[in-house]
Amino acid sequence: MSDLPTPAKDFDPAALMSILSGFAGRKVLCVGDVMIDRSIYGEVKRISPEAPVPVLRITRETSALGGAGNVVRNLAALGAALTFVSVVGDDRAGREVGQLLGALNAVEPYLRVSRIRETTIKNRFFSIDGHNLLRADRESVTALSAADADDLTRAALAQVAGVDAVIVSDYAKGLLAGGLAAAVIAAARAANKPVIVDPKGSDYSRYAGASVITPNRAELADAVGAEAKTDAELIAAAQTLRQRTSAGVIVVTRSGEGMTVVGDTVAHLPAETREVSDVTGAGDTVAAVLTLALACGADMVDAARLANIAAGIVVGRHGTAVATVADIAAALVHSGLAGLEQKIVDRDSAAARSQAWQHQGLKVGFTNGCFDLLHPGHVALLRAARGQCDRLIVGLNGDASVRRLKGETRPVQAAAARATVLASMEPVDLVVEFGEDTPQALIEAVRPNVLVKGADYARANVVGGDFVESYGGRVVLADLVASYSTTATIAALKAGRKE
């Protein structure tokens, strides 16, 4: 029986929403090991004649920032403005890191190019339905040269005074093996900035004085040289680590069991997800959300609650996913509605789910729209679309996209609220927000068997229709329910009439 104190499940979503609303524009310094996460998907249908190993026929390949780069992706997705200090090799992967960072909003990278290192690459191989097959790494794990260390330390320390919080993301690739971590933490504490450490290894002396350290259960046990299997052992180990490092708080991530916050008091937060797809990168999400929440002045337990919710979102998605403010807000809005957050996914997750469903012989349908102020016409379209397929994916125009299409007074409801309503509907299996004016790129990603639009469209005007038909898919124009329009409803409300 657990002796962990469990906080009351009742909390104030409005208070957490208020913290969340402060994320945009917060300035963060991130220092850590960057890498490339490459995901390679394919079909396995035969064994090699050369050796008793499966042959993977590659069908799709993606690349993303990994390690501390995934922390940066999460911070950028949450609206932060940040400086990122790291080292790469003088190689193609290092240049790819620069390109991927350059594609992110409000990120100012400082990358030291080292001629004695290679950029770390993690190659993950998956079956077409998302099962892990193999991981192959290429990496350097040596400490920095003196010149590299001096340059990176100067760059990092120059940023501390101008930021709201600092995060140190250690992936044990050598960047933080010397004095860089200690120098950054000391400068942050001297400037009264919260500093959050996502640690690696067994020597935590370089993290001394951090505001928060976030080991997982195995890392905690390794750091203190003691078991952390039971609740009592975990709390004792965390208290020992806190004393050794003079850290303010130890937040222990416990995978499917949630997280435990050990400071002057102890609190346990149960896991927020009900369906785990992939735990890759969840610790990065936790560190990013904790950092921004503390930068906003949140207390430790509320910061951990938000981080726990965000972790529940990303582990329900495939690969190194990120959680946005809209994602977390949606989870808070429907925190009492079981399973809805599993329906609201990003583009990559939707593509993976679509492939998996089709591999199982299921017919995947797609429709899209703004779905602002849902009315009977929308309901009829969704039912008609679901009648054409086994699984229905709904593309949802993001807020900026709706404004461009409908005008500055729209949408009436933010994307998070619109996605929540759609996800609550029985015909809908997945909801995917897209930011472009048309769903063409999303359609190309999910490759549906059936594309459904309302009969008010001419076939020639259906975006994505030619693409879907090019591989044997169908375009269906569904009959609409007359006399219903969001624009007309809004006009009637303004005129003071009842619909």
Q: Dihedral of CA 195/197/203/204: which sign?
A: positive
Q: Phi-psi bin for 152: left (phi > 0), alpha (psi -120 to 50), beta?
A: alpha
The fraction of the chain above a pLDDT of 70, given in percent, is 88
| Residue in 148, 170, 278, 284 annotated catalytic | 284
Residues 249 and 356 in one domain: no
Q: Taking the chain, what is the end-to-end CA distance rounded to the nearest angstrom?
A: 57
Answer with the one of 314, 342, 370 that is the final residue of a domain: 342
User: 239: which residues sit within 8 A by CB, 6+ positions away?
Assistant: 250, 262
- Give residues with Cβ within 8 angstroms of 235, minimum separation 6: 4, 260, 262, 266
**429 catalytic residue (yes or no):** no
The pLDDT of residue 279 is 63
Whole-number pLDDT of residue 213 = 97
CATH number, residue 199: 3.40.1190.20
Position of tokens 């346990």? 268
Candidate from 15-24, 137-146, 301-310, 387-396 with smallest mean pLDDT? 15-24
Residue 214, pLDDT > 90, answer: yes
Same domain, 218 and 314: yes
Same domain, 353 and 330: no
At 129, is the pLDDT very low, low, confident or very high (cuts 50, 70, 90)?
confident
Structural domain includes residue 223: yes
Q: Is the pLDDT of residue 152 over 50?
A: yes
Q: Are residues 129 and 276 in the same domain?
A: yes
- pLDDT class of 432 with cuts at 50, 70, 90: very high
What is the mean pLDDT of the segment spanning 370-393? 89
| The pLDDT of residue 120 | 95
Q: Are residues 186 and 48 in the same domain?
A: yes
Same domain for 156 and 220, yes or no, is yes
Same domain as 293, residue 442: no
Residue 8's pLDDT band (boundaries 50, 70, 90)? very low
122 forms beta bridges with: 37, 137
- Tokens 């794990």 sit on residue: 141
**pLDDT score for 136:** 93
Does residue 460 lie within any of the structural domains? yes
Confidence grade of residue 143 (pLDDT, cut at 50, 70, 90)? confident
**Per-residue pLDDT, 276:** 56
What's the one-letter identity of residue 12?
D
Mean pLDDT, residues 27-41 taken together: 95
Residue where a domain stops, chosen among 342, 359, 382: 342
Quick check: is 6 in a domain?
no
CB 129 within 8 A of CB 355: yes
Task: Give the residue from 315, 342, 369 where a domain finishes.
Answer: 342
Query: How many CB atoms lie under 10 A from the CB of residue 112?
Result: 18
CATH no. for residue 438?
3.40.50.620
Same domain, 206 and 145: yes
Q: What does pTM read for this prediction?
A: 0.67
Co-location of 426 and 328 in the same domain: no
Number of domains in the chain: 2
| Residue 328 is assigned to a structural domain of this protein | yes
Question: Does a structural domain hold residue 3?
Answer: no
Checking if the pLDDT of 429 tops 70, the result is yes
Q: Are residues 275 and 362 in the same domain?
A: no
Domain residue limits at 449: 344-494
Tell me how far apart the alpha carbons of residues 390 and 42 are, in angstroms, rounded to a whole number. Answer: 23
Mean pLDDT within 56-84: 93
Predicted confidence at residue 372, as pLDDT, reads: 82
Domain-embedded: residue 391: yes
Cα–Cα distance between 316 and 13 in angstroms, integer? 21
- Of 103, 85, 101, 82, which is closest to residue 93 (Cα–Cα)? 101
Bridge partners, 345 (sequence order) = 432
Instruction: Confirm whether 466 is domain-assigned.
Output: yes
Residues 314 and 336 in one domain: yes
User: 257-278 as b/e, with b when 16 or more CB fall inside 10 Å?
Assistant: bbbbbbbeebbbbebbbeeebb
Q: Is 304 exposed, middle or buried (0-12, 13-18, 19+ CB in 10 A)?
A: buried
Residue 6 has pLDDT above 50, yes or no: no
In a domain, 8, yes or no: no
- Are both 453 and 416 inside the same structural domain? yes
Residue pLDDT, tens place only, 399-417:
998 989 888 877 888 888 8
